[in-house]
Structure 1
Amino acid sequence: MAALTLTVLGAGPAGPNPGGANSGYLLRQDDRAVLIDCGAGIAGRIPLHVAVNRLNGVAISHLHPDHYFDLVALYYMLKYGEPRPVDLLRLLPVFVPPGGRECLNRFGELIANRSAMFDDIFDVRDYAANEEIRIGGLPFAFHPVQHYIMSHAMRVRAASGAVLVFSSDVAPCPQLIEAACGADLFLCESAVLDASQDDADPAKRGHLSAREAGQAAHEAGAKRLLITHYRSGENFDALHMQGASEAFGGPVELARDGQSYVVG
């Protein structure tokens, strides 16, 4: 069986980096492909790696626009493109946080005056906190973490036993450490350069600095840290790398759009 690979479709923050995209990641193992998040600019990048009609499922971490708005573009690509092959489910499974299906129904009402719009193409299902679901044959566990709205880190186990953890958007919290415990690859956000750029009240924070991402990886005992959801540019990149590396003490990389990483 082939190794589980992660391809970064978009590693940008809510305001995309020049030429970049919002949050979106493609997981592949053998002939299976699962999309994690689908922010602006992501849908058009999927066919560079896999045909959209071959996706086995989509998992959305939380309902901020930069993590799910391109579900609309993906919907139209599937609706007017090649039909899904007979060996796949007719509708594409899309797993969303609690209340997500209702949110997409309202979205459909705004777009097409039809709340059931997405039901033509997607099988939208709300997941529950701490629930484990198999998506494309891969076990996903959804861990609630601190953010400005409901947000879930994802823990995915490969057939080899290797573990990928995606932080989602998150503030420093013990739930993140628990979710990332022993991760072979920890894909972690770093949306602020410094903690002072977030809310002064720790209970109201919603993001990590690179140093805090490195500290979380260290406390969780992660093997590798891949920084994402960060503001890029030469000076910013160096600051992210410095902060994360000093706090983690292990291998650190900055996620790059189009790059693939072996989980195990």
Structure 2
Amino acid sequence: MTGDLIHLTVLGSATPHATVDNPCSGYLVSQGATRLWVDAGSGTLAQLQRHVRLDEVDAIWISHLHADHSADLLTAYYAVLFADVRFDAPIPLYGPPGTADRLAHFLTNTSQRSPVESAFAFHELRDGHHANVGGLTLTTRAVEHGIPAFAVRIEAGGRSLVYSGDTAPCANLTRLAKGCDALLCEAESSQAPADGPQAHHTPEDTGDTARSAGARRLLVTHVGPTLTPAEAVRRASARFPGPVDYAAPGTTFSIG
């Protein structure tokens, strides 16, 4: 039944800034009556409202606090507290340690701290964190991005979607994605650096991670400005034998 499927709607996938036709990273994950906003990059709140009102979102999950994944939390704060929609309770927000203080720092304009907890019920992520959001089960693992950063496995009805966030190739992501129905994985870098740790996947890395994890499907996202989506898909496909698609803004994928 289609009601049992996990649906992934791409609100945006641009980096490092929103473009004319593509907001930054953000996704709406839905299953049955459950709605989860995953990453809140610049421009994604506007696109979210094409599909659901903000008061219909069951929770928000943030991979890390770079602006292209979290900046629209600032405007969401004003929407929750000052728009014409009534919220019965703060929206559960799963994010890296320090998310509440980071938002308050940006939003406070007087000597009195902005009441960010009135808009969001904060839950700090950690490696191995588990949560239930409506019909969805969320498992979070720490990944390698130079700052606190996380990937998530979202499961419901025996189906699974894994989102990498931003990360270098790492064992935690591969283990998290083991046997998943779909891996939504970034392909930011056009080439690996000559030395030092890499904070992103190249398209080849993306294909390698999906193949090593035994993912059934690969969705390439967060394609860097030195790449075209078609090039990223082509290069990832050379390493991964399953179906590969680009996470184009506005597209909805049915998982499972």
Q: 1:183 aligns with which of 180, 185, 192?
A: 180
Percentage of identical aligned residues: 31
Partner of 1:230 in structure 2?
223
How big is each residue's C-alpha offset from its partner over 1:135-193, in whole Å with a ceiling of 9 and x where there is no partner? 233111110011121110101101x2111000010001111111111110100001112
Which has more helix, going by share of residues? Answer: 1
> Structure 1 residues 97-106 or 205-214, which shifts more?
97-106
Partner of 1:242 in structure 2?
234
CA contact (8 A) 1:131 1:141 kept: yes
- Return the offset for 1:81: 2.5
Distance 1:112 1:147 in 2: 33
Distance 1:185 1:46 in 2: 21
TM-score normalised over the length of structure 1: 0.90
Report the CA distance shift for 1:108/1:4 in structure 2 as closer, same or farther (over 3 A): same
Partner of 1:59 in structure 2?
61
Partner of 1:21 in structure 2?
23
Q: 1:172 aligns with which of 166, 169, 175?
A: 169
Query: What is the identity, as a one-letter code, of the residue corresponding to 2:177?
Result: A
Equivalent positions of 1:128-167 (< 5 A) are: 128-158=126-156, 160-167=157-164
TM-score normalised over the length of structure 2: 0.93
Equivalent positions of 1:76-225 (< 5 A) are: 76-79=78-81, 80-84=83-87, 90-109=89-108, 111=109, 113-158=111-156, 160-196=157-193, 200-201=195-196, 204-225=197-218
How big is each residue's C-alpha offset from its partner over 1:106-125, in whole Å with a ceiling of 9 and x where there is no partner? 2233x565434222221122
Query: What is the identity, as a one-letter code, of the residue corresponding to 1:193?
Result: S
Distance 1:112 1:3 in 2: 46
CA contact (8 A) 1:177 1:217 kept: yes
Aligned length: 253
**SS in structure 2 opposite 1:238?**
helix
Partner of 1:49 in structure 2?
51
- Return the offset for 1:219: 0.3
Partner of 2:41 in structure 1?
39
CA contact (8 A) 1:23 1:67 kept: yes
Partner of 2:254 in structure 1?
262
Query: What is the identity, as a one-letter code, of the residue corresponding to 2:150?
Result: H
Query: What is the identity, as a one-letter code, of the residue corresponding to 1:211?
Result: E
CA contact (8 A) 1:155 1:179 kept: yes
Distance 1:191 1:253 in 2: 15
**Structure 2: unaligned runs, 5 residues or longer:** none
- Return the offset for 1:236: 1.6
CA contact (8 A) 1:101 1:126 kept: no
- Return the offset for 1:78: 2.4
What CA RMSD, in Å, does the superposition of the two structures yield over aligned residues?
A: 1.8
Query: What is the identity, as a one-letter code, of the residue corresponding to 1:83?
Result: R
Query: What is the identity, as a one-letter code, of the residue corresponding to 1:81?
Result: D
